[in-house]
Each structure stands twice: as C-alpha cells, then as structure tokens.
Amino acid sequence: MPEGHTIHRIAKDHSPLLVGRPVAVSSPQGRFAADAALVDGVVLDRIEPYGKHLFYWWANGLVGHVHLGLFGKFRVAAGPQVPAVQGMVRMRMSSDGGTVDLAGPTDCSIGSADDRDAIIGRLGPDPLRRDAKPADALARLRKSAQPIGALLLDQKVLAGVGNVYRAEALFVNGINPARPGKACTDEELSAVWDTVVTMLRKGVKDNRIITIDRKRFPVPKGQARRGDTTYVYHRDVCLLCDTPVRTVELGGRACYYCPTCQPR
C-alpha cells in the first residue's frame, strides 16, 4: 500500500494535467460508470491529498474519493492524445493536458463535501499538510498502552505513515517498536513526529523512500533494491552496527528493528 508521500506526489504530478480543465470521466471497466457520469465534462478544481486518500473537487460541487489500497495503480499519459485502454481501468480522466487511468483501487467514488469530511473525521493529522495539528496525534500516542509500532500504523492516530516510515522513524529515535506509547516521553514523541515529517517531505521531493543519511551512506541511483535506502527496513543487518535485524508483528505487519540500537 502506498505511503503518504506517494499520495501527495500523485496529487502534485496529476494536477497540471487535469486541474482547471474540463475533464472527460469514464469507466472503461464499467464499475464506476454511474459515478463517472456525474462529473463527466466538468472542470476539476483541485486534487487534495490527505494521508492515503485522494479527493477530487469538481466545479459542480461534487467530490471524488480514491483510496488505492494494496492493488490500486495509476497510469499517466501526458498530452492531448488519448491512449488505448490497457487492462481493467476503473476510472479514466482525460483532458487536453493528459489522461490518467486508475485500476484496482480499494475505493473510487463520487460524493459530497460532507462525505469527504466524514472520511477526514476518521483520520488523524496528516504530517505533510500545512493544517496538520501534531498535538492531536501526540495526545493519542501519549495516552495509549498499545505498542508505538502499532500506533504509528493506525490511520486514526496519524494519517499517511506506512510500514517503512514507522520502522525507520522509530529506529532513528532509538525507540523499540514494542514500547507502549504512554511509556515514551513527550520529547521522544515530538521527535518521532518531526522525523516522520522530514522523511515524508523527502519522499515527496525524491518520489522514492530514502531514510538514510546521504552524507554518510551512498544512495544507489535509479531503481534500488529494498533495504538499499533504509537503516533497518527489509535489511538483514542494521546499517549502523551490523546487528541482525529482528521483526515483530505490530498492526498486522512485520516491523523491522535493531535490538542493539533500539533496546527499549
């Protein structure tokens, strides 16, 4: 499942192609046809990312919602020429700027601003947004007896963090993922938030996940293997101390950590 930086990058990359233009919206697959008809030919005002969700604000007042989930993917073709459909496309958006095809999302729907607000209301603050309120996330972390490694994956606590960033942010701050949130100090929790913000922002800029200190460790150019750009995630040994990396299942996912660098 894409982490929050990917969603913000999608909004950034797709906006010049679609926003401010009339957009032909269709559903080659057919499953989105009724909703597509509600906004077909309408001007798209903006694309709003929040955590792992995308919201499409249309000039007629309707708001689209996309959640990629595990299998959702976009295919983009710039320019006015509309390409042939490839595979099972749930939603196609075409303008004179380009065509964006969406396949395999967990959710793709058209609703109202109230529907959008209801989704946002179930989520914690998004560290990448200017209107984020870190105090809300820190308060939830501070009072919970759950392991912090599970809390960081809980989108109700903070939105957009996935398996890679939670492992790497905890590693950078020397926190064992099994430690309860309420056993962490205010300074530690604030540092985790700040680390997540920094990592996500770099992810948006680079369009890839790189959590290691680039001044100390070379970063492979182009497509990197898992573990080449992280301290512990998907690595056999810790990048800093060569201790064998361990995993613990938290939040339904394996969380990577170093027992030497994150002893408690």
Return the active site residues: 2-3, 52, 253
DSSP state of 131: T
Cβ neighbours of 64 (radius 10 Å): 25
Token pair 């209801």 is found at: 118
- In 3D, which of 253, 261, 190, 199 has the Cα closest to residue 230? 199
- As a whole number of angstroms, the distance between CA 236 and CA 148 comes to 22
Indicate the length of the chain as a whole number: 264
- As a whole number of angstroms, the distance between CA 163 and CA 159 comes to 12
SS3 for 98? strand
To the nearest 10 degrees (0 to 180), the angle between helices 4-18 and 186-206 is 40
Are 210 and 220 spatial neighbours (Cβ–Cβ below 8 Å)? Answer: no
Are 140 and 150 spatial neighbours (Cβ–Cβ below 8 Å)? Answer: no
- As a whole number of angstroms, the distance between CA 9 and CA 249 comes to 29
